[in-house]
Amino acid sequence: MEIFNYQRAADPQVATQLIRSHAHASDLQSAAQYIAGGTNMTDYMTLEVLRPKWLIDINHLSDARLKQIEHTDRGIRFGALVKMSEAEDDPIVQSQYPLIRDTLVTAASRQIRNMATLGGNILQRTRCEYFRETSWPCNKRNPNSGCSALAGINRQHAILGVSNHCIATYAGDFAQALIALDATIEIIGGANGARHIPFANLHTLPGTTPHIENSLQPGELITFINVPAGPWMRRACYIKVRDRRSYQFAITSAAVALHMENNVVHDCRIALGGVATIPWRAQAAEKILKGKVLDERSATLAADAAFENAITGEYNAFKVPIGKQTIVRALLEVQRIKI
């Protein structure tokens, strides 16, 4: 690990100013970075994938709401510094937001979730082995150096949202609940001040610039995550398929939330993990189900549509059938939920 400077910030606005003042003009992203739970940041610093000159610790910011969960009739608002384990233990999350609960409890280990924050979780970096090992060419780590995964061992890699420059999978689970449930995030510290954006606009497709992973400007800090309430909230679940049952990232996953009456789907939200380069909303699948009776046949048609545009590599074509089965399983499981 390279030597770095550490500074603890007390005020959210000051934190954003610190990042900007410590940023080197030509290297804004690596010169100074926030650290929250540190479970992702220190991992990648140890591997020397990330080499920030400055770490700005945001754990002691004075705004208490950043560590709180607020419930209203309109939905739920998480402070970005809420720990994953605090969110999963919240009684309202447990009873009213099963999809959020499921994505949290199936992530990492309880020890990691005790440290990790919600804001840090959604910005975690990919687990692509070639990104993590600095001796390999990697466009995400070192722009225009090439992508070792394209012709390499790409069993874990993405099949949706990929480009000729990067096929790295977005690794997180919580983000699948957020994108399925139309969450929004609050951000401060940008050139134009505070802003509020759909969560779906946060992560960016790799395209020709895989080193740019999100739409945050240098110094911007995520402060809150809002999830609106809706009639689909209770009839929801997250199915995560992985190589071992716990403490493992997804091979495929499906986050499903439905609003149904008499077995007819009125509203439908499906997000996929483990198969895409960003948190992935399966809109083609949703379209097929809306207004239809939910049964194995319609669920299978929806799953087929979700993977219609999949682009597979030498070792990851197996994700297509498993991904489809994961969607069908999640839809039929949700159908059985008694409200």
Ligand X SMILES: Cc1cc2nc3c(=O)[nH]c(=O)nc-3n(C[C@H](O)[C@H](O)[C@H](O)COP(=O)(O)OP(=O)(O)OC[C@H]3O[C@@H](n4cnc5c(N)ncnc54)[C@H](O)[C@@H]3O)c2cc1C
Q: Which two tokens stand for residue 288?
A: 């097929």
User: Which stretch in 34-42, 279-287, 307-315, 324-332 sits in contact with ligand X by CB under 6 A?
Assistant: 34-42
Residue labelled with tokens 């994505």: 103
Does 23 sit near ligand X (CB under 6 A)? no
Q: Check residue 108 for interaction with ligand X (CB under 6 A).
A: yes
Q: What are phi and psi of 209, to 5 degrees?
A: -130, 65
Nearer to ligand SF4, 167 or 178 (CB): 167
153-182 binders of ligand X (CB under 6 A): 172-174
Does 45 sit near ligand X (CB under 6 A)? no
C-alpha–C-alpha distance, residues 97 and 64, integer Å: 23
**Residue 173 contact, options ligand X, ligand SF4, none, Cβ 5-8 Å cut-off depending on partner type:** ligand X
Do strands 75-79 and 221-228 pair parallel, antiparallel, or not at all (unpaired)? Answer: antiparallel
From ligand SF4, ligand X, none, which one binds at residue 116 (CB under 5 to 8 Å depending on kind)?
Answer: ligand X
Q: Which residues contact ligand SF4 (rule: CB under 6 A)? A: 126, 128, 130-131, 138-140, 147-149, 166-168, 210
**75 vs 81: CA distance, rounded Å:** 18
| C-beta of 226 vs 268, nearer to ligand X | 226
Angstrom distance (rounded) from CA 124 to CA 171: 8
Taking contact as CB under 6 A, which single stretch among the options 90-98, 113-121, 225-233, 252-260 is the one that binds ligand X?
113-121
Q: Residue 56 or 158: which CB sits closer to ligand SF4?
A: 158
> Does the footprint of ligand X cover residue 80 (CB under 6 A)?
yes
The residues facing 272 across adjacent strands are: 254, 280
* Alpha helices (H) along the chain: 12-22, 28-31, 41-46, 84-89, 91-96, 98-105, 110-115, 118-122, 129-132, 174-180, 283-289, 296-306, 319-335
Q: Which does 184 bind (CB under 5 to 8 A by kind): ligand SF4, ligand X, none?
A: none
Of 13 and 300, CB closest to ligand X: 13
CB of 174 to ligand SF4, least distance (A): 21
Distance CA(176)–CA(71), nearest Å, equals: 21
Please check whether residue 206 is in contact with residue 258, taking contact to mean a CB–CB distance below 8 angstroms. Answer: no
123 vs 285, which CB is nearer to ligand X?
123
Residues that bind ligand X (CB under 6 A): 33-41, 43, 80, 107-108, 112, 115-117, 119-121, 123-124, 172-174, 221-222, 249
